[in-house]
Chains A and B, each alone.
Chain A
Amino acid sequence: MPRARSRRDVSGRKSKVIIQIAAIAFFLLVWQLVTMTQLIGLPTPITTFEAFYSLLITPEPVLGRTLLEHARASITRVLDSALIAFALAIPLGIAIGWYTRFDYFASTLIEIFRPIPPLALIPLVYALFMTYGNTVLLAQLFIVALAVFLPTVVTIVEGVKSIDPIIIDAAKTLGARGNQLLQKVVFYASIPSIFAGIRIGLGIGWASIVAAELIGGSGTGLGYFIMTMYQVGGRMPELISGIIMIGIIGFLMNEGILWLQHRVIRWA
């Protein structure tokens, strides 16, 4: 097993990068071909990337902010919500995975709430927070936090449940009991699934930020930027630039966590 892994890491990395570049080139080519058919009013990749680069540094006149400023606002919102969600999901996930009776109780509720798309909750949440100050911020944090929380907790629960019983038995044989078992064995054994949960949760949270930013009065953020460009009209390259930015950041977040995961858990 270690041999196979190292071979993939060393000789596979170069070809992986080449294939990744080829995938992007393929996508751009298809995009270019679609625009050449003129069946839909899609701007060419060149026009779009020109707009993208200029928006990175020059403020877009309608909202008065650069694409990077909008990206920062969105990232901040997602990270704030995600931190709250992780703080709840990690201990809860371990507890649900470990205590069977609590699992029956909590999983029932989680499985009822999990199929509801965060998008469907926007009007409700907005109306609920209407009577508070900072309605928009609270509603956005809530929606993204919920979007992050549910998949994270489910992934961690599955991870805890699939911990090799041999490890638990070995620890018990060595005299570990109760909290000691939970803190010294179960917690460490579930770190890979915590990372997986964080990665999945953050991905879904990032995807839901667009929905959360559609709430009126958001003012900043990539979702809000896209929506405003659409409403004012005639700004297809700007609109697509916002979408590309969401894609790039989502990709980098995922890669970043994978990188961190490989550094933190060398044993898995």
Chain B
Amino acid sequence: MAPLVFIVVIISSVYAGCLTDQSKDSGVIYQAWMRAGDMQQQIATRNIDGFIAWEPIVSETAISGKGTVLAYSDTIWPHHPCCVLVISRAGLEKLDRNAVLGMVWAHIKMTQFINNPQNYNETVESIATSTGVDDNTARESLKHITYTYMPSVQAAHDIYDALESAGYLKTNVTTLGYANVDQFLNHFVQLEFVNETKQRLSENPNWAPAPSNTTTIKLGVLSGDSHKLAAVMALNKSYYASVGLQIEIKQYSSGITLVEGFKSGEIDMGYCGIAPALLRAINDNVQITVIAAANDEGSGLIVNTDAGVHTLSDLEGKTIATPSAGSLQDVLLRKIAAQQHLRIEIK
């Protein structure tokens, strides 16, 4: 019996050894999908050669020395759209119009506050406390992100093209009842709330949506990212409360899971990437609409300091992690691969 056990152990360990021996192809970037929260640890153990994540993870990794920034996302794709404020169509019907306006109003007010250099220290403080990084990291992350509120149909169209070329789109918009992509996107991105708020604020800077009865809004956000900063600050500074809104926050680990929350009715509104929102809106007919932009740019490509990667073309044969398929960072990696004439292979 003992020899039998011995043989089985030997065979199984040799077999397991063969598994890890993977031959490297030329012309390929290997991609691994994983939780953004796991990436710093995975790069430290050399399981991956790099990753694309959102701020402040990028700045945190760079400052801690676990990796170096190869490219900020603005150099990969200048002015690329990122997070947006999304509302479910059910929420749009159910909620008082003033409540929706109130959310957009608080978002615009806070975005203007963040972009005012006088409020720099308070902004840094808010990033640090809401994401758990130090002030230094918060300051660094702030350099590489543009806070905004004006959504754009063109930006949605760019994302649509990127998702389509990645082979992710399974459903044609005509089966969803639209004549063409433009018609779909014009319905997917609604400018009316931002335009109305802007208009009112330009007439009277102290305008606020008339408080209706106190309305509870279930708001989904991504944990540990600084893109939803306007919402964090609006909460801290009681902007929501001032227009009769009570906010219930629900945390998600990725945009894909947040959009799931819309599908199941867990949330009415949410801050997430425009890419996952658009992907699920098309593929699964999730009934959602973008009513404001949150930020442009604000992601970065981190590589292992000793991985020998100095330019984007050095990524050949390397393993790069991104959050789940259809996330904005996933789209960014595919952009890089296309620019460098490399193929993506999932690892």
Enumerate chain A residues within 8 angstroms of B179, measured Cβ to Cβ. none
A65 to B, closest residue via Cβ = B346
CB distance from A11 to the nearest CB of B (A): 38
Confirm or deny: A135 has a beta carbon within 8 angstroms of a beta carbon on chain B. yes
Give the interface size class of chain B. 35 or more
In the bound complex, what is the Cα–Cα distance between A138 and B10 (angstroms)? 17
**Is B134 at the interface (CB under 8 A from chain A)?**
no
| Docked pose: A83 CA to B346 CA in angstroms | 27
Q: Which residue from chain A places its CB closest to the CB of B44 in the assembled complex? A: A131
A47-74 near B? 1/0 per residue, CB < 8 Å? 0000000000000011111000000000
Whether a CB of chain A sits under 8 angstroms from the CB of B245 is: no
The residues of A that contact B41 with a CB separation of less than 8 Å are 130-131
Q: In the complex the two chains form, is B5's CB within 8 Å of A90's CB?
A: yes
B167 & A216 in contact (Cβ 8 Å cutoff): no
The reply to whether B19 and A232 form a contact with Cβ atoms under 8 Å apart is no
Report the separation of the CA atoms of residues A216 and B35 in the bound assembly, to the nearest whole angstrom: 7
Bound CA–CA A234/B41 (angstroms): 32
Is B94 interfacial (CB 8 A cutoff)?
A: no
A87 in contact with B8 given A133-B45, A232-B283 (CB within 8 Å): yes
Q: Mark A27-55, 1 if CB is under 8 A from B, else 0.
A: 00000000000000000000000000000
Residues of chain A within 8 A of B35, CB atoms compared? 216
- B339 to chain A: closest CB distance in Å? 20
User: Across the interface, which residues of B come within 8 angstroms of A187, CB to CB?
Assistant: 1
Interchain CB contact under 8 A, B167 and A137 = no
CB atoms of B171 and A234 under 8 A apart: yes
Q: Chain A contact residues (Cβ within 8 angstroms of B): what range? A: 35 or more
Are A217's CB and B1's CB within 8 A? Answer: no
B345 to chain A, nearest CB (A): 6
Which A residues from 98 to 148 make CB contacts under 8 A with B? 126, 130-137, 141
State whether the Cβ of A173 lies closer than 8 Å to any Cβ in chain B. no
Q: How far is the CB of B194 from chain A (nearest CB, A)?
A: 27
Residues of chain B lying within 8 A (CB to CB) of residue A86: 8
Most chain B beta-carbon contacts within 10 A, residue among A65, A130, A217, A228: A217
Query: Across the interface, which residues of B come within 8 angstroms of A231, CB to CB?
Result: 256, 324-326
Select B345's contact among A64, A91, A141, A232, beta carbons within 8 Å.
Answer: A64
Besides A84-B16, A134-B47, A233-B279, 7 more A-B contacts (Cβ < 8 Å) are A62-B168, A79-B15, A80-B12, A87-B9, A135-B47, A216-B33, A234-B284
A selection of 8 A-B contacts at a CB cut-off of 8 Å is A64-B346, A86-B8, A87-B8, A87-B12, A137-B19, A231-B326, A233-B279, A233-B283
Binding site for B on A (CB under 8 A): 61-65, 76, 79-80, 83-84, 86-87, 90-91, 94, 126, 130-137, 141, 183, 187, 216-217, 219-220, 228, 231-235
